[in-house]
């Protein structure tokens, strides 16, 4: 029989490290969070070989005193908790006191730190959990920590690491999240000697989104702002046009902490229902601020999960705030005929715009050049000046004029370089400065009005499916099927809320033979089907008959159509909000009565459809998330015909 024994400290430390240090990205996350908790305003992260061989993190925070250094590397030693009650109101990112001890147990660690009040700093080395040296050194205020050869003493764990490139991508992802969650801190991130990004630390979240995600996404953002007692929500969400096929762009932060939470994920995706096609997910960068006592962050060692005391309230609030923002925004996508293929986010050049110090340098350069370069308006050497004027110019002035031309050439070269490297076009005047962010502030009015139809002109029908409408310098294209489908869907939902859905008896009734799960669905929600106009009765041991259907389905309802509806609804049977989801799917199916493509419509019918579309909360997408209307500018057409270049 095996004997029970207490594990030695080294084994305990390595087991504990396995819970906190999963890969190099875990090391970066824990150490940068410590730097943030140390009130740093500038943090630099340098990584080589995916962080497997080298990680260096430098901050300008409060530092650690010499007498506390050895304590900092002990398990469950922390300055962020003083008593048990502090667990229920945690305001810091780290609090368990496991990060430094866990990292030191599986790597070679060197720390150089200096509090502001001390004259000199301390260099402390610890390998595999064993202290190596502690000596006095000159150092700036703050802390620099180096982590070398991760898992050097645990080869069994090292072999499970991915390639350096893959591990580096994990670190890049964490650094992007940390930069987004703390726009007031200046982050500099270097990978294999190359700067991947650098933020200004000026608190402007949109600038960081621009650097990380690029111009296309940043130009399609909706600002969110909501505050009530105990909960505030702010940040940005993307318009449906920038959706993706995975959840990688769903970013949300609770009290400054980047987390993954099913409640928030569900609230976000439910708010986009009807705005996105199936299996498409939105871009979000949302910040939730709650009272510390209403959220538990002490759920998992990685601190990536949270638990809310009132989950339903958080869910409903987030969902409503985002839904209201989407419904209050013009969401017509713009078509660009000559738009080239955009590079993948991961393959884009590291810098999407000049670094903050580079922006200032270029602005100062342009201002200085504009002041120093004299105007050519009264210049005798200008083109068109008389022979007498030119002959009166001294030789020295000729040299000066040559220098001026060279300076102007340099100035133009700077502008061309910026446009080529960053896709940013600066004005010829230095006073204009860098204007690349101006596109974020453009507002767009809804193109049509029921009161004033003279502002737009219905041109006609294209391919018996699309309607062309001209307004000003824009061409709008409406998909008649998607638009009619959305009108019918909204009418069905409103009629259900007002209890005004009308049924139409059918003879003979439709007989169906649903599966066991579909029969359970019918038995559980038969009243809900009746509310939407379906009169369904049992018809033998395993059959049902449908005696009436919504009036707009009369003549097109079939057994196949109803079985398709049941199949779509069965996955909602066990969900808490199954009634709402089933109602949505019933209303969506009722849209089968919508006018189809390849159907001729008259201009009065189209005018009525446009008027009905304007009454909807969201006229921009059909119930399946497809756009109902798109637009194309006159300039894009003229480019295609080479009228303009």
pLDDT at 453 over 70: yes
According to the model, what pLDDT value does residue 300 have?
A: 58
Mean pLDDT over 240-269 rounds to 89
- Assess if residue 140 is contained within a domain: yes
Same domain, 364 and 228: no
Q: Is residue 215 packed enough to be buried (19+ CB in 10 Å), middle (13-18) or exposed (0-12)?
A: middle
- Assess if residue 158 is contained within a domain: yes
pLDDT at 351 over 50: no
According to the model, what pLDDT value does residue 617 have?
A: 77
According to the model, what pLDDT value does residue 233 have?
A: 95
Helix/strand/coil (H/E/C) assignment for every residue in 67-125: HHHHHHCCCCCCCCCCCHHHHHHCCCCCCCCCHHHHHHHCCEEEEEEECCCCCCEEEEE
Same domain, 194 and 233: no
Same domain, 140 and 29: yes
Mean pLDDT over 52-56 rounds to 96
- Percent of residues, the chain, with pLDDT higher than 70: 72
Same domain, 179 and 58: yes
Picking from 420, 435, 454, 463, the residue whose alpha carbon sits closest to that of residue 601 is: 463
Picking from 102, 54, 100, 111, the residue whose alpha carbon sits closest to that of residue 78 is: 100
Q: What is the DSSP letter of 392?
A: T
Beta-strand relationship, 334-335 and 629-633: parallel
pLDDT at 558 over 90: no
Same domain, 254 and 304: yes
Sign of CA dihedral 215, 220, 223, 224: negative
pLDDT at 110 over 90: yes
pTM, 2 dp: 0.64
Same domain, 21 and 170: yes
The residue among 191 and 408 whose pLDDT is bigger is 191
The answer to whether 140 and 59 have CB atoms below 8 angstroms apart is no
45: pLDDT confidence band, cut at 50, 70 and 90? very high
Domain boundary among 593, 615, 631: 593
Domain boundary among 182, 198, 214: 198
pLDDT in tens, 587-645: 777 677 677 666 788 888 888 888 888 888 788 888 878 888 999 989 888 888 888 87
Same domain, 194 and 217: no
**CA pair distance 588, 609, nearest whole angstrom:** 18
Instruction: Determine the structural domain holding residue 586 and report its residue range.
Output: 501-593
According to the model, what pLDDT value does residue 425 have?
A: 43
The mean predicted confidence, pLDDT, of the chain is 77
Same domain, 532 and 580: yes
Same domain, 210 and 147: no
1-5, 51-55, 248-252, 578-582: least confidently modelled range: 1-5
Same domain, 431 and 528: no
Same domain, 36 and 158: yes
Same domain, 220 and 308: yes
Largest Cα–Cα distance of the chain, in whole Å? 114
- Assess if residue 442 is contained within a domain: no
382: pLDDT confidence band, cut at 50, 70 and 90? very low
């Amino acid at each position: 029989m095996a004997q029970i024994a207490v594990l030695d400290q080294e084994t305990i430390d390595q087991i504990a490290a396995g819970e906190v240090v999963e890969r190099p990205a875990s090391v970066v996350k824990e150490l940068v969070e410590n730097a943030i908790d140390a009130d740093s305003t500038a943090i630099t992260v340098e990584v080589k070989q995916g962080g497997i061989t080298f990680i260096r993190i430098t901050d300008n925070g409060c530092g650690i005193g010499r007498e506390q250094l050895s304590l900092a590397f002990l398990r469950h030693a922390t300055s962020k908790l003083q008593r048990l009650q502090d667990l229920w109101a945690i305001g810091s990112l780290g609090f368990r006191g496991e990060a430094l001890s866990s990292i030191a147990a599986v790597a070679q660690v060197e720390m150089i730190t200096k509090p502001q009040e001390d004259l000199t700093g301390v260099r402390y080395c610890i390998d595999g959990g064993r202290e190596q040296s502690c000596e006095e050194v000159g150092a700036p205020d703050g802390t620099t920590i180096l982590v070398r050869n991760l898992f050097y003493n645990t080869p069994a764990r090292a072999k499970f690491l991915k390639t350096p490139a893959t591990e580096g991508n994990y670190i890049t992802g964490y650094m992007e999240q940390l930069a987004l969650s703390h726009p007031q801190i200046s982050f500099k991130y270097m990978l294999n000697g190359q700067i991947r990004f650098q933020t200004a630390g000026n608190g402007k979240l949109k600038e960081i989104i621009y650097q990380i995600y690029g111009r296309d996404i940043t130009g399609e953002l909706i600002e969110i702002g909501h505050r009530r007692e105990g909960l505030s929500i702010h940040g940005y969400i993307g318009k449906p046009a920038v959706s993706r096929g995975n959840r990688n762009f769903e970013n949300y932060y609770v009290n400054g902490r980047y987390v993954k939470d099913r409640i928030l994920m569900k609230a976000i995706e439910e708010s986009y229902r009807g705005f996105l096609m199936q299996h498409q997910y939105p871009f979000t960068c949302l910040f939730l601020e709650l009272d510390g006592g209403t959220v538990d962050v002490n759920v998992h060692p990685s601190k990536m999960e949270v638990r809310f005391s009132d989950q339903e309230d958080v869910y409903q609030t987030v969902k409503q705030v985002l839904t209201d923002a989407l419904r209050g925004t013009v969401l017509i996508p713009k078509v660009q005929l000559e738009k080239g293929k955009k590079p993948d986010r991961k393959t884009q050049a590291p810098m999407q715009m000049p670094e903050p110090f580079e922006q200032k340098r270029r602005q100062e350069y342009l201002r200085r050049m504009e002041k120093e370069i004299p105007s050519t308006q009264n210049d005798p050497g200008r083109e068109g000046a008389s022979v007498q004027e030119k002959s009166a110019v001294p030789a020295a002035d000729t040299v000066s004029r040559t220098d001026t031309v060279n300076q102007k050439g340099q100035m133009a070269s700077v502008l061309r370089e910026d446009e080529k490297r960053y896709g940013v076009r600066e004005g010829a005047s230095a006073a204009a400065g860098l204007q690349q962010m101006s596109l974020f502030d453009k507002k767009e009015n809804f193109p049509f009005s029921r009161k004033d139809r003279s502002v737009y002109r219905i041109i006609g029908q294209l391919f018996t499916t699309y309607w062309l409408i001209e307004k000003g310098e824009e061409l709008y294209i409406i998909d008649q099927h998607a638009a009619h489908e959305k009108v019918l869907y909204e009418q069905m939902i409103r009629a259900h809320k007002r209890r005004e859905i009308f049924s139409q008896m059918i003879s003979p009734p439709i007989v169906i033979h649903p599966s066991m799960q579909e029969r359970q669905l019918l038995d559980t929600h038969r009243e809900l089907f009746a509310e939407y106009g379906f009169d369904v009765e049992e018809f033998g041991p395993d059959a049902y008959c449908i005696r009436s259907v919504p009036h707009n389905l009369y003549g097109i309802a079939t057994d196949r159509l109803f079985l398709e509806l049941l199949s779509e609804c069965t996955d909602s049977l066990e969900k808490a909000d199954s009634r709402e989801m089933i109602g949505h799917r019933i209303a969506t199916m009722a849209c089968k009565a919508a006018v189809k493509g390849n159907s001729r419509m008259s201009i009065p019918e189209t005018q009525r459809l446009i008027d009905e579309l304007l009454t909807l909360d969201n006229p921009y997408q059909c119930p399946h998330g497809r756009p109902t209307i798109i637009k194309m500018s006159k300039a894009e057409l003229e480019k295609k015909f080479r009228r303009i270049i």
